[in-house]
Amino acid sequence: MGLTLIQFPVGEKRVDPLRQRIDELQCEVDRLTAERDEMQGTLNRLALGIVILDRNMCVTFANASAKSILTESDGAAGLQLGRFVARYPRDHRRLKELVKSAVQERGVAGEPEEASLILHGVDGSQLVSAYVMPTSSSFDTWSNDRVALALRRLEAAPDLARCVKQMFSLTDTEAKYALALARGLTLAEEARAQSVRLSTARSHLARIFQKTQTHKQSQLVALLSSGAPAFRSISALGTVS
């Protein structure tokens, strides 16, 4: 049985398929690395603390602002063995519930639910607002159990109105309307108290919805209620053992 010789055209270079695939993968890795570095650089320039963590509270990313908050000795939160830990047990339990809920909502049709709470530092000082939201699939392609946590320092506020203004950048008037609704008043009742038309009050409410990222009064009231512990006695919180 004779051998058949395969002749290649003169000057044609043979390409190793395996080597070609390796080069393609290396280019893809370089592209993803560049995108990651660009995203991290952008997040590090934010004044807002951004943390990515999983359902077990293990931190996989924290930008510069978040690291500053987490390394404060008397702060509201920190790291223990790579896990995000709120200083007070009640804060930590509530945060874990919100993280678990956000993880479960990934992949569910419709707008993802977002929630917030206030974390307390030593003696009720060093207040930090924590905003929990599911990460998008495009942001986190390797795992479906990650959530984003936005952290923002709050100045110690002697009253709820001042804290609400700080958290959501509300005006004095907007804060009054928001807190009136939280106390159970109707928009019409607060409009009469402010001696303005109902249409004017509705305009204020629309801006409040926009700033708090809520869509109806029940959502707004629930959001404000989640921040109420900041103004209760710190003695009820207990301490971390």
- CATH number of the domain that residue 71 is part of: 3.30.450.20
**What pLDDT score was predicted for residue 77?**
92
Q: Is residue 181 part of a domain?
A: yes
**What pLDDT score was predicted for residue 24?**
80
- Are 96 and 90 within 8 A, CB to CB? no
Examine the fold and report which residue of 141, 156, 171 is the final residue of a domain before the chain moves on.
Answer: 156
My answer on whether 220 and 120 are in the same domain is no
Q: Is residue 123 part of a domain?
A: yes
Rounded CA gap, 98 and 149, in Å? Answer: 10
My answer on whether 98 and 149 are in the same domain is yes
- Kindly report the number of other CB atoms within 10 A of residue 215's CB atom: 11
Q: Is residue 1 part of a domain?
A: no
**What pLDDT score was predicted for residue 145?**
77
**What pLDDT score was predicted for residue 197?**
93
**What pLDDT score was predicted for residue 125?**
59
- Are 101 and 113 within 8 A, CB to CB? yes
My answer on whether 72 and 141 are in the same domain is yes
Encoded tokens for 206:
């629309």
Q: Is residue 136 part of a domain?
A: yes
pTM (two decimals): 0.51
Q: Is residue 30 part of a domain?
A: no
My answer on whether 172 and 125 are in the same domain is no
My answer on whether 70 and 102 are in the same domain is yes
In Å, the largest CA–CA distance within the chain is 106
Q: Could you tell me which residues come within 8 angstroms of residue 129 by beta carbon, excluding any fewer than 6 positions away?
A: 116, 117, 118, 119, 151, 152, 154, 167, 227
Report mean pLDDT in 10-residue bins for the chain, 241 residues: 56 68 79 66 66 91 89 89 90 90 66 69 73 67 73 68 81 88 82 90 93 87 61 35 33
Q: Where are the alpha helices (DSSP H) in the chain?
A: 17-44, 64-70, 89-104, 160-168, 172-182, 187-193, 198-212, 217-226
**What pLDDT score was predicted for residue 135?**
74
Q: Is residue 187 part of a domain?
A: yes
My answer on whether 151 and 172 are in the same domain is no
Phi-psi region of 108 (alpha: psi -120 to 50; beta: other; left: phi over 0): beta
Which domain range does residue 178 map to? 160-228
Examine the fold and report which residue of 94, 122, 156 is the final residue of a domain before the chain moves on.
Answer: 156
Q: Is residue 5 part of a domain?
A: no
My answer on whether 133 and 224 are in the same domain is no
My answer on whether 152 and 168 are in the same domain is no
The domain tally of the chain equals 2
My answer on whether 205 and 146 are in the same domain is no
CA distances for 121 relative to 86, 152, 160, 215, angstroms? 9, 13, 17, 31
- Beta bridge partner(s), residue 52: 61, 148
- Are 163 and 157 within 8 A, CB to CB? yes
CATH assignment of the domain containing 223: 1.10.10.10
Q: Is residue 18 part of a domain?
A: no
CA quadruple 207, 212, 213, 214: dihedral sign: negative
Examine the fold and report which residue of 122, 156, 190 is the final residue of a domain before the chain moves on.
Answer: 156
- Are 59 and 53 within 8 A, CB to CB? yes
My answer on whether 110 and 205 are in the same domain is no
**What pLDDT score was predicted for residue 179?**
82
